[in-house]
A and B are shown apart, each in its own frame.
Chain A
Amino acid sequence: MARIVFRTPQGTDRECEAEIGESLMAVARNHAIHGIEAECGGALSCGTCHVYLTAPASAVLPAPSEAESSMLEVVAAERRSDSRLACQIAITPDLSGLFVEIPATQF
Chain B
Amino acid sequence: MRFDPRTSGSIAIIGAGHAGTEAAFAFRLEGVEGPVTLINGEETLPYQRPPLSKSFLHRGMTPPLRSPDAFVNARIDLVRARVKAIDRARLTLLLDRGDEIRCDHLILAVGAQPNRLAVADGLNLANLNDLQSAERLRSALPHARRVAIIGAGFIGMELAAAVVALGKQVVVVDRAARVLERATSRDVSRYLGDRHRLRGAKIILDVGVTDIRRHSSLGCVLTLSNGVQIDADLVVEAVGVTPRLELAKQADLRTGIGIIVDRDLLTSDPRISAIGDCAQFPLCEASRAIVLTSVQNSADQAKHVARRLAGVRTSYFAVPWFWSDQADDKLQIVGLVPQCADRVVRRSKNDRSFSIFSFQNELLVSVETLNSPAEHVIARRLLGASVPIRPQQAEDPKFDLASLLRVPSQTCK
Given contacts A43-B50, A43-B325, contact A73 B74 (CB under 8 A): no
Give B288-308 as 1s and 0s: 1 = Cβ < 8 Å from A's Cβ atoms.
000000011001000000000
Closest to A29 in B: B66
A10 within 8 A of B: no
Task: Pick from A19, A34, A41, A71: contact of B29, CB below 8 A.
Answer: A34
- Which of B328-354 touch A at CB < 8 Å? 330, 332
Given contacts A71-B373, A74-B378, A74-B402, contact A43 B323 (CB under 8 A): yes
Min CB–CB distance B405 → chain A (angstroms): 9
Closest to A37 in B: B299
B67 within 8 A of A: yes
Q: Report the separation of the CA atoms of residues A76 and B405 in the bound assembly, to the nearest whole angstrom.
A: 11
Decide: A39 and B377 in contact? CB cutoff 8 A. Answer: no
Give A72-83 as 1s and 0s: 1 = Cβ < 8 Å from B's Cβ atoms.
011010000000
Contacts of B48 in A (CB 8 A): 41
A42 within 8 A of B: yes
Decide: B67 and A39 in contact? CB cutoff 8 A. Answer: no
Contacts of A29 in B (CB 8 A): 25, 65-66, 70
Decide: A30 and B67 in contact? CB cutoff 8 A. Answer: yes
Contacts of B296 in A (CB 8 A): 39
B28 within 8 A of A: yes
Closest to A45 in B: B323
Decide: B323 and A40 in contact? CB cutoff 8 A. Answer: yes
Min CB–CB distance B8 → chain A (angstroms): 19
Give A15-51 as 1s and 0s: 1 = Cβ < 8 Å from B's Cβ atoms.
0000100100010011110100001111111110000
Given contacts A70-B373, A71-B377, contact A42 B63 (CB under 8 A): yes
Q: Report the separation of the CA atoms of residues A39 and B298 in the bound assembly, to the nearest whole angstrom.
A: 10
Given contacts A43-B325, A45-B330, contact A71 B295 (CB under 8 A): no
Task: Pick from A31, A34, A44, A70: contact of B70, CB below 8 A.
Answer: A31
Decide: B325 and A46 in contact? CB cutoff 8 A. Answer: no
A63 within 8 A of B: no
B69 within 8 A of A: yes
Decide: A32 and B332 in contact? CB cutoff 8 A. Answer: no
Decide: A26 and B374 in contact? CB cutoff 8 A. Answer: no
Task: Pick from B65, B374, B381: contact of A71, CB below 8 A.
Answer: B374
Closest to A46 in B: B377
Decide: B376 and A45 in contact? CB cutoff 8 A. Answer: yes
Interface size class of B (residues with CB under 8 A): 20 to 34
A60 within 8 A of B: no
Total interface residues in chain A, CB < 8 Å: 24
Q: Report the separation of the CA atoms of residues A107 and B295 in the bound assembly, to the nearest whole angstrom.
A: 17
Given contacts A30-B66, A30-B67, A40-B323, contact A45 B29 (CB under 8 A): no
B226 within 8 A of A: no
Decide: A32 and B74 in contact? CB cutoff 8 A. Answer: yes
Contacts of A40 in B (CB 8 A): 295, 323
- Which of B357-403 touch A at CB < 8 Å? 372-374, 376-378, 381, 384, 402
Q: Report the separation of the CA atoms of residues A32 and B31 in the bound assembly, to the nearest whole angstrom.
A: 12
- Which of A66-107 touch B at CB < 8 Å? 67, 70-71, 73-74, 76, 107
Q: Report the separation of the CA atoms of residues A42 and B295 in the bound assembly, to the nearest whole angstrom.
A: 12
Decide: A74 and B73 in contact? CB cutoff 8 A. Answer: no
Closest to A27 in B: B67
Closest to B70 in A: A30
Decide: B69 and A73 in contact? CB cutoff 8 A. Answer: no
Q: Report the separation of the CA atoms of residues A46 and B384 in the bound assembly, to the nearest whole angstrom.
A: 14
* Residues in B lying within 8 Å of A, measured CB to CB: 25, 28-29, 48, 50, 63, 65-67, 69-70, 73-74, 295-296, 299, 321, 323, 325, 330, 332, 372-374, 376-378, 381, 384, 402
Closest 10 A-B residue pairs measured CB to CB? A45-B323, A30-B70, A30-B67, A70-B374, A74-B377, A74-B374, A47-B377, A41-B48, A30-B66, A71-B373
* Residues in A lying within 8 Å of B, measured CB to CB: 19, 22, 26, 29-32, 34, 39-47, 67, 70-71, 73-74, 76, 107
29 A-B pairs (CB sep. < 8 Å):
A26-B63, A29-B25, A29-B65, A29-B66, A29-B70, A30-B67, A31-B73, A32-B73, A32-B74, A39-B296, A40-B295, A40-B323, A41-B63, A41-B295, A42-B63, A43-B50, A43-B323, A45-B332, A45-B373, A45-B376, A47-B373, A47-B377, A70-B373, A71-B377, A73-B374, A74-B377, A74-B402, A107-B381, A107-B384
